[in-house]
């Protein structure tokens, strides 16, 4: 796994989420499946997890790298957006747009745009708008563009010399939404029956969060309970698709069909 981008091949699929471990919970099996099909996959975490009840941001960085290995992700990076304060600002949009341009994904997976945690639904809008901006040829990546009163910090001076995202415009072909955190009917599911165990292990790589311990005992369920919940969800979405385990997604576009006899999922 690399965090450098320079001349890397474009990613086939990039999953963007607010927190480390969100992707593992909502679409990790799908990413692993894509990797097994020879696709290049990546994860962009918007925050580093410094607000978590358990563990430090450094713990979570190590755990995220371990999880990425299990999911066979070829690129993973965390931005420095404050945990618990994911806001859809111009600056944050540029940060995400710059990653889109560097990694040039064909497909972007975003969180669903409604949810309990503000970071999750804000990440959805922020991600969508960043995908749009990344395709604008004349986008100005200097953070203080249009704001001459903003203090020119050392970082900003650096950004001006080598503006992040000073790469070619790029807009992903497809944006889909991982809906597992929200009770909404998906438009399609991905069969992860063969990958369920690996996905669960990727989540359990976040030992600071999920191993049984004293800290946050009232907030966090025991590991056996976590497994039961995750399995129940995967079973439910599997049932909708006529398989054992699946992950749910939503696309805004309609499905395009070439051959009626090949449409999957039995009706009666």
Q: Using CB under 5 A as the criterion, which residues of the chain lie in contact with Zn ion when the complex forms?
A: 19, 22
CA torsion 87→90→92→98, rounded to 10°?
150
Pick the closer one to Zn ion by CB: 19 or 72: 19
Cβ-based nearer residue to Zn ion, 191 or 247: 247
Provide the minimum distance between the beta carbon of 25 and Zn ion in the complex, in angstroms, as a whole number: 8
174-178 and 246-250 as β-strands: parallel, antiparallel, unpaired? antiparallel
13, 34 Cβ separation under 8 angstroms:
yes
CB nearer to Zn ion: give 125 or 142: 125
- Local structure of residue 2 (DSSP, 8 states): B
CB of 10 to Zn ion, least distance (A): 27
> How long, in residues, is the chain?
268
User: Of 19 and 76, which CB lies nearer to Zn ion in the complex structure?
Assistant: 19
Least distance (Å) between residue 262 CB and Zn ion: 36
The DSSP line for 125-153 is: HHHHHHHHHTT-TT----TTTT-TTS---
Q: Which helix (H) or strand (E) holds 78?
A: strand 75-78
Query: What tokens appear for 160 in the block?
Result: 């001006």
**Phi first, then psi: what are they for 13, rounded to 5°?**
-135, 130
* Residue with the shortest CB distance to Zn ion: 19
User: Considering the complex, what minimum distance in angstroms separates the CB of residue 171 from Zn ion?
Assistant: 26
Residue 209 CB, shortest distance to Zn ion, in Å, is 11
Burial classification of residue 244, based on how many CB atoms lie within 10 Å of its CB (0-12 exposed, 13-18 middle, 19 or more buried):
middle
Pick 25 or 241: Cβ nearer Zn ion? 25
**Minimum CB–partner distance for residue 30 and Zn ion (Å):** 17
Task: Give whichever of 123 and 243 is closer to Zn ion, judged by the CB atom.
Answer: 123
What CA–CA distance (Å, rounded) separates 240 from 262?
18
């Amino acid at each position: 796994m690399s965090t450098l981008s320079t001349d890397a091949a474009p990613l086939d699929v990039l999953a963007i989420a607010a927190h480390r471990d969100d992707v593992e919970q909502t679409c990790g099996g799908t990413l692993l499946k894509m990797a097994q099909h020879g696709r290049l996959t990546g994860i962009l975490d918007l925050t580093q997890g410094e607000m978590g009840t358990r563990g430090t941001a450094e713990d979570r960085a190590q755990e995220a790298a371990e999880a990425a290995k299990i999911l066979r992700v070829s690129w993973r990076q965390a931005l420095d957006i404050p945990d618990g304060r994911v806001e859809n600002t111009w600056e944050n949009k540029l940060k995400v747009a710059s990653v889109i341009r560097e990694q040039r994904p064909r497909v972007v997976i975003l969180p669903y745009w409604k949810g309990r945690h503000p970071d999750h639904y804000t990440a959805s809008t922020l991600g969508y708008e960043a995908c749009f901006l990344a395709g604008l040829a004349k986008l100005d990546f200097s953070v203080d563009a249009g704001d001459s009163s903003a203090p020119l910090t050392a970082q900003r001076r650096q950004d001006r010399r080598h503006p992040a995202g000073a790469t070619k415009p790029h807009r992903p072909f497809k944006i889909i939404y991982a809906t597992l955190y929200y009770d909404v009917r998906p438009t399609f599911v991905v069969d992860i029956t063969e990958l369920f165990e690996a996905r669960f292990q990727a989540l359990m790589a976040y030992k600071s969060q999920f191993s049984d311990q004293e800290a946050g005992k009232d907030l966090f369920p025991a590991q056996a309970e976590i497994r039961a919940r995750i399995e129940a969800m995967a079973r439910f979405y599997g049932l909708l698709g006529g398989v054992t385990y699946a992950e749910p997604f939503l696309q805004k576009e309609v499905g395009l069909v070439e051959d009626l006899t090949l449409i999957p999922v039995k009706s009666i």
